[in-house]
Amino acid sequence: MRAEDNVKMTRTGPDTPGGNWMRRYWQPVALTEELDGPRPVVTTTVLGEDLVLFRNPDGSLGLIERRCPHRGADLALGRLEDGGLRCYFHGWLFDRGGGCLETPAEPDGSTLPSKVRLRAYPARECNGIVWGYLGPGEPPTLPSLDCFLAPEEYTFAFKGYLDCNWLQALEVGIDPVHASYLHRFEEDDDPEESYGKQFRGVSLGTELPMTKILREYGRPEILNARTDYGQRIVALRRIDGEGYDGSLTHVRITHQVFPHGITIPLSSTMAITQWHVPVNDYSCYWYAMFTSLDQPVDRAKMREQRLDGITLPDYKPVRNRANNYLFDPEEQRTSTYTGLGADINVHDQMAVEGQGYIHDRTRERLCRSDRAIITYRRMLLAAIDAVADGRSPELLLSDTADVESRGPIPLDGIGPTGEWEAYWAESIDALRVASPWAQDSEAARATGPAGVPGSVPEPDDELFGGGSG
C-alpha cells in the first residue's frame, strides 16, 4: 500500500478526505444508557470533534459543540435548564439546534444572541444507541437492517474503547481466519453456559462446539463478494476429522457494512452488528447492537457479562496497554492462545493495539486469508474519492424507512459440503419464518439471504494478480 493511501483511509478529522466521506453516514455517538440518571448530559468525541449530547425534559436530543463560543467554558458541565444547556460562566443559554437563546449579563435588548451559534448536529435514538449525523445537507435514513427494525426488547447495545485507529478495529472483524488462532481455547465450554458469549456455543444443526471447530479447522476456504451494503464474507471449514467423512462443512457468513460496520453471528439465532467509530485518528469506540431472532434478549445478563471487563463512565477496558493486558504466560501455555482470559474482545484489542496507534500498511505482506480486507480497502478508497469528487458514496444511502430488511444476514451452521449457498438460504428462511418479529419479511427472503441477488464472488486474479498468491 502507498503511504498516501494509508493516510487517506485512516485520517478522519474535519476537512480530511476520509472524514468528509465518513460524515455522510449516521455515527453512533453514545449509548442510550449513558443518558440515564438525573442529569442526562454526556460528552462525546466523534471524528475529532468534541461534542456534548443532552436530553431535554421533553425527550428531545441536542448534540452541540462542547466549548462555549464566549470564553471557551466546558458546556458539558453547564446547567441543563430552560430548553437547553446554560453556560455556568456567564449564563449564556444554547438550545439543541446550537442557537443562543440568552446572554443574561448583556444589556437589555442586546442583539448578541442572534449573532451567536454553536455547531449542532441531528441526533436520534434507535435500539439503545444514540446516533448523530455530522455531514452536510439532510441526513439519510438509517438503513433497513435487522438491528434497526427489530423490536427494542429483541436488541441490546454496548460499547468499548480501543487505543488505536478505527481501521485496525474494523479489519479484525472482516478477517475470518484469525478466530482459529487468536480466539482458540484448548478446552470446550459447556454449551449451556454460552449465552451472550461469542464462539462458545454450538453451530446450527450440530452439537459440535464452535471452540472445537475453530481449534481443529484452521485453514478455511474464504470467498467474498461485493454487495450494495459492502461485502459478504464466507468461511468454509470442511468437517473431516474424528470420524467425520467430509460430507459436512461448517459455514460462517459474515458481512462488512459501510461505512465501518460488521455483521457477524453471536449464536445460531443472535447477530452482532458492530460499528468502529473514530474518536480521533489514534483511538476509537466499537458500538455493538445484538439482535435476536427468536426471543427477547436478556439485557441484564448481557450487560453484567460485559461490565466486568470495563470501567465506567468511559467504557475503557480493564486490561490495557498500561498493564500488559494482564497477560498470563501459564494460561497461554495451557488453556488459551493469547493468555488473556476468556473475553475475545480483549484478544482483538491486544491484536489491533499491538499494530501501533496507526498501522503502517506499507510494510504488510498480505495473503489469501486477507481477501476481504483487500476488497474493503479498494472499496473504501473508491468511496472516499467519490465524495472528494462531489459524488455520493452510494452504499447504504438509498434505503427508506419502509423497506424490509434486505440483509446483511449472518449465519453460523453446518450443512452439506459443496452446497453452502442453498444451505444458507434454507437456514435463514427457516429462522426468519420462526421468528416472532421477522417472519413477515418475505421480500428479504425472496431476494436471497443477503438480500442481494447475483453478487459475484471477488475473483482471485483481480485480488492477487493472476492467482500468484
SS (H, E, C) 388-403: HCCCCCCCCCCCCCCC
Give the DSSP per-residue string, 145-157.
Answer: -HHHHS-GGGEEE
Answer yes or no: is 16 within a domain.
no
Answer yes or no: is 131 within a domain.
no
Answer yes or no: is 17 within a domain.
no
Which backbone phi and psi does 149 adopt, to 5 degrees? -95, -20
**Is the predicted pLDDT of residue 440 greater than 80, yes or no?**
no
Mean pLDDT for 2-21 is: 96
C-alpha grid cell, residue 293: 431472532
CATH classification of the domain holding 120? 2.102.10.10
**Do residues 177 and 118 both lie within one domain?**
no
- The DSSP output letter for 408 is -
Q: Which residues pair with 159 in a beta bridge?
A: 287
**Do residues 74 and 208 both lie within one domain?**
no
- Please identify which residue in the block is written with the cell numbers 467430509: 246
Answer yes or no: is 397 within a domain.
yes
Mean pLDDT rounded to a whole number for the chain: 89
**Do residues 409 and 303 both lie within one domain?**
yes
Cβ–Cβ under 8 Å, residues 126 and 148: yes
Q: Which residues pair with 120 in a beta bridge?
A: 64
**Do residues 150 and 116 both lie within one domain?**
no
208 C-beta neighbours (distance < 10 Å), count: 19
SS (H, E, C) 53-117: EEECCCCCEEEEECECCCCCCEHHHCEEECCEEECCCCCCEEECCCEEEECCCCCCCCCHHHHCE
Span of 61-75, 128-142, 216-230 with lowest mean pLDDT: 216-230
Mean pLDDT for 96-119 is: 94
Answer yes or no: is 193 within a domain.
yes
One-letter amino acid at 159 equals K
pLDDT interval class at 441 (50, 70, 90) = low
In the prediction, which pLDDT does 207 show?
Answer: 75
In the prediction, which pLDDT does 194 show?
Answer: 61
Widest CA span of the chain, in angstroms?
87
Given 57, 90, 124, the domain boundary residue is: 124
Whole-number Å distance between alpha carbons of 327 and 343: 13
Given 124, 155, 178, the domain boundary residue is: 124
Domain count, the chain: 2
DSSP reduced 3-state for 196:
coil
Cβ–Cβ under 8 Å, residues 288 and 273: yes
**Do residues 208 and 116 both lie within one domain?**
no
Cβ–Cβ under 8 Å, residues 380 and 261: no
DSSP reduced 3-state for 264:
strand
Answer yes or no: is 5 within a domain.
no
**Is the predicted pLDDT of residue 461 greater than 90, yes or no?**
no
In the prediction, which pLDDT does 467 show?
Answer: 43
**Do residues 159 and 67 both lie within one domain?**
no
The pLDDT tens digits of the residues spanning 242-281 come to 778 899 999 999 999 999 999 999 888 899 999 999 999 9
The pLDDT tens digits of the residues spanning 321-376 come to 999 999 999 999 999 999 999 898 999 999 999 999 999 999 999 998 999 999 99
pLDDT interval class at 61 (50, 70, 90) = very high
Among 409, 419, 410, 401, smallest CA distance to 444 is for 409
Whole-number Å distance between alpha carbons of 403 and 399: 7
**Is the predicted pLDDT of residue 405 greater than 60, yes or no?**
no
In the prediction, which pLDDT does 469 show?
Answer: 36
The pLDDT tens digits of the residues spanning 169-207 come to 999 999 999 999 999 888 877 766 667 666 666 777 777
The torsion defined by the Cα of 371, 166, 309 and 182, in degrees rounded to 10, comes to 20
Q: Percentage of the chain surpassing pLDDT 90?
A: 68
Answer yes or no: is 282 within a domain.
yes
**Do residues 187 and 106 both lie within one domain?**
no
Cβ–Cβ under 8 Å, residues 292 and 155: yes
Q: Which helix (H) or strand (E) holds 350?
A: helix 344-353
**Is the predicted pLDDT of residue 468 greater than 50, yes or no?**
no
Domain that includes residue 242, residue range: 146-464
Span of 17-21, 134-138, 183-187 with lowest mean pLDDT: 183-187
Whole-number Å distance between alpha carbons of 286 and 162: 8
Count Cβ atoms within 10 A of the Cβ of residue 127 and give its class: 0-12 exposed, 13-18 middle, 19 or more buried. buried
**Do residues 296 and 435 both lie within one domain?**
yes
Answer yes or no: is 440 within a domain.
yes
Helices 166-173 + 3-10 axis angle, to 10: 90
**Do residues 107 and 187 both lie within one domain?**
no
**Do residues 435 and 350 both lie within one domain?**
yes
Whole-number Å distance between alpha carbons of 103 and 89: 11
Helices 371-388 + 166-173 axis angle, to 10: 140
Count Cβ atoms within 10 A of the Cβ of residue 422 and give its class: 0-12 exposed, 13-18 middle, 19 or more buried. exposed
**Do residues 347 and 250 both lie within one domain?**
yes
**Is the predicted pLDDT of residue 427 greater than 80, yes or no?**
yes
**Do residues 376 and 294 both lie within one domain?**
yes
The pLDDT tens digits of the residues spanning 286-300 come to 999 999 999 999 999
